[in-house]
Chains A and B, each alone.
Chain A
Amino acid sequence: MWSILKGEWRKLRRCQILLVGVVALALCPVVQYGTQLIINPELRDQSFDFVRLFTNVIWGNTQIFLPISLTMIGGWLIDREFANDTMKNLMTVPVPYSKLLGGKLMVIVFLSLLFGAYSAAITVLTGAIAGLDGLSVSVLLQQSIRVVAAAFNTGLVCMPLVLIFGQIRGTYLGGSLLTFFLGYCILFFKGGFLLSAYPFSAALILAGFDMQAYNGAVQSSSILLALAGMAAVIALTMGILLISRPGSKAGERKKKVRKGRGQRRLA
């Protein structure tokens, strides 16, 4: 498994798709702070400090930026093995398909940790440039850990979607949009079972996010239900891993019909 992980990590060299995550997570604190600036001054949060900025970033990351980035990158990591026709090389090593996918998921979860740490750094930078109050060592540590934890949990939640859209050829972009929609839905679950068990909400709750204070939840969230939601995601991921097959035509490249200049003229 270690060699698979090492290989997967090596494959990320010079991958421009990683910029999606880098740019998205740099945008999050800027957007969250910018929102404060553009709203009506009467509605503006007068006590908007570092803690508020971090809270907004954690919410924004889990609701929008991480689901899009992680599903797109993860889906692409799987899809590229078919698109680049490398699956046949892997299958004839032989590398077990489920282990290969498992390695890719681990890379995605590790990337979510890195993105979390990066997001915390950008948040501090944004807050410092904006001149926000309330930055201390304890705030920095506590909030950064929370950002990274929420990113890690979001990475776990994205796993089944990465597996599904990575294996349906050419759908990882659509899949990332669907994941964005699923992440965005946390806004609507302010009470009941789904407030805690809905996987994206669970990702926040397990990172110590206060849904009542931020989301206007009508009841307090349940750690147990959040754990159950996360366990369901992991069970679903395992299930998909177990039933996944490279297909009878593993490594057969999807043939694109390219039109040359001459053909275009004829058409």
Chain B
Amino acid sequence: MSDPVIETCGLTKKYGNQNSVSNLSIHVKKGRIYGLLGRNGAGKTTTMRMLLGLTAPSSGDVKIFGKPLRGNEKTILSRIGSLIESPGFYPNLTGTENLQIFAGLRGLKDPKYIRNALEVVSLPYRDKKLFSQYSLGMKQRLAIALAVMHNPELLILDEPINGLDPIGIAEVRGFIRELCDNTGKTILISSHILSEISLLADDIGIIDHGVLLEEESLEELEAKNGKYFRFTVSNAALAATLLQSRLDIQEAEVTSANELTVRNLQLDIGAAVRLFVDAGLSVSDAHLYEDTLEDYFKKVTGGEGIA
């Protein structure tokens, strides 16, 4: 396996006595989308800021493209495109004028870079509209255009779909997926929106209170997700007893007066329903359920769900 594009080792950021990020070790593989998932305030942005050298870590190391970030900022950062927090641009300039400034600083002389970047995010080239007149969605699109303008190998995107409408979200999602699949870019994306991460990421890191709780591929996480049968019957306790005594199913759990969960996939659901009906129970639902990523998130963070 190739070396990870991003590798952190014991990355920690303290503000006063409080750990914003604690002993974080993440591994972002080349040509894959890594979703950093966590609630608001979990430490995602701080982590990304440290990866870009915008915030100095209290301890720990950051390696990008196999080199330590410290001391190699010039060569490393020029190969990265980033969007951190809200889009920051000059309000007195148009979108194109804003990009011209950064294109100049990056040594991109050909206007095609700006035109292409704007085209990718469906913003007009040489529009007269000033940045101050942009909607939140347009601002976010311009920030994405800035991140991809110089064709970077690595993209670090902090909540890139914030402020976008549903169509915009789908467009950006498709565009990010395309960047990874067609051009082999490595992408680190953070979000507190679980569905987005599950739709987009190849690898997932779950961060909570600054601590990385899990780091696995989406396939591994899906494999870990539990599957179970759930029955809605007129008497769940009696149904559980019947399963234990007649079908030798010991994994029946009564979750409410009418609901029964069975974590044994060997169960013949048809036989179980017949058994309940023969015993005079009414069965209104029998389903195979699978834990969602949200359930998994709740399980590993030991708390509330996420958006």
Contact = CB atoms under 8 A, between A and B. Distances in A.
Contacts of A4: 105
7 contacts: A6-B104, A87-B88, A89-B102, A91-B53, A92-B84, A93-B102, A94-B74
A13 B130 CA distance: 11
A33 B178 CA distance: 68
Given A3-B107, A94-B74, A250-B54, A89 B146 contact: yes
A84 B87 CA distance: 9
Given A91-B54, A248-B55, A10 B146 contact: no
B54 A10 contact: no
Interface residues of B, number: 31
Contacts of A90: 105
Interface in A72-93: 80, 84-93
Interface stretch (B90-98, B191-199, B207-215): B90-98
A7 B74 contact: no
Contacts of B56: 248
Contact of B77 (A14, A85, A92, A253): A92
B86 interface: yes
Contact of A95 (B84, B86, B105, B146): B105
A86 B92 contact: no
Interface residues on A, range: 20 to 34
Nearest to B107: A3
A248 B46 CA distance: 11
A88 B97 contact: no
Overall SS of chain A's interface: loop
Contacts of B171: none
A253 B73 CA distance: 23
B93 A11 contact: yes
A15 interface: yes
Given A89-B146, A93-B78, A94-B73, A15 B84 contact: no
Give the top 9 A-B pairs by smallest Cβ distance, nearest first: A85-B88, A14-B92, A7-B101, A86-B88, A94-B77, A3-B104, A93-B105, A92-B52, A250-B54
B64 interface: no
Contacts of A253: 85-86, 88
Contacts of B84: 88, 92, 251
Contacts of B73: 94
Given A93-B78, A94-B78, A248-B55, A15 B104 contact: no
Contacts of A14: 92-93, 130
Given A15-B92, A84-B88, A90-B105, 9 more contacts: A6-B104, A7-B102, A10-B101, A11-B92, A85-B86, A86-B90, A93-B105, A93-B106, A253-B85
A80 B100 CA distance: 18
Contacts of B102: 7, 89, 93
B53 A94 contact: yes
